[in-house]
Amino acid sequence: MGILRQTSAPAAGESVGAPPEPRRGRPVLWGLISVAVVAALVGLFYRQLKRMESQINSLSEQTEQINSRLAQVEQRSQTAAQQANQAAQSARAAAAQRDQAEEARGQAVAQVQQAEQQAEEYRRQREEELTHLQQALGQIAETRRTAMGLVMTLGSESVQFDFDKSDIKPQYRETLSRIAGVLSTVRGYSIYVYGYTDDVGSQEYNLGLSERRADAVRNYLLSSGIDPNILTTKGFGKSNPRVPGDTPQARAKNRRVEIGIVDSTLRVEGIVPPAR
């Protein structure tokens, strides 16, 4: 026998025979949407991350450039500091040199002033010596001052030379001895003996005669104890006549010997006749 199944009647409002509506479609859709949103967010985040990475790289490069510039500035600053230090040292050295130069200049000025004072004192002493020497010699023979010292004239009034002669007569030896006695006391002087003739005869002959007259006086002074190292002779012949003219009196005065007394500290270029 068959079993009978009782089916219930459809409820009001329901269609008889329509299949039921499926319920799984909405979750899948939402899942896809979520995935898309997440993917979009991930892409956005990735792009932002890339931009940030690029910015970070740019900032890193800028930082490196800044650091490089800072290093250059620091190097320049150190170089400038070294140069400033060197300049300061140079300035101190220059100041020290300037001080030394000023000190040396002051010492030089003091030395010059001292030398001038010594020279002035020396000139004063020499002037006094020459004055006393002129007074002493002037009592023996005519003695005059020159720019270089003194000049004695041994002519017809003191030591007379005969015509064409160079020997010293006995009566004039005392005069030369007195002269030698005065000259032996001087120190620091050179003595020059100059011979002259009158105008008779040739210049060549008279040069030899004048030299013999000068040598005669020199030899007498040497025999009286005068240092030979300070004695020098020279003949000038008939040049530089003392008295112009050809009279016997003029010629007698021109036959003479002159003794020059010169400070040996003065520079004398050769042998020159005494200044008139």
Query: Residue 248 above 70 pLDDT?
Result: yes
- For residue 131, being part of any structural domain is answered with no
Residue 269 has pLDDT above 80, yes or no: no
- Distances in whole angstroms, Cα of residue 131 to Cα of each of 45, 123, 167, 189, 240: 124, 12, 31, 14, 26
Verify that 240 and 179 share a domain, yes or no: yes
pLDDT in tens, 4-17: 444 455 545 444 55
> Is pLDDT of 71 > 50?
yes
Tens-digit pLDDT profile for residues 38-54: 888 888 878 887 887 78
Q: What integer pLDDT is reported at residue 23 of this predicted model? A: 56
User: Quick one: CA dihedral 6, 12, 18, 21, positive or negative?
Assistant: negative
* pLDDT tens-digit series, residues 88-113: 888 889 899 889 898 898 999 999 98
Most confident of 20-29, 52-61, 233-242: 233-242
Question: Are residues 160 and 236 both part of a single domain?
Answer: yes
Q: Tokens 């910015």 belong to which residue?
A: 55
Residues 232 and 185 in one domain: yes
Is 132 a domain residue?
A: no
Domain enclosing residue 206, as ranges: 140-263
Average pLDDT in the 187-194 region? 93
Q: Is the pLDDT of residue 34 over 60?
A: yes
Residues 118 and 145 in one domain: no
The answer to whether residues 244 and 144 belong to one domain is yes
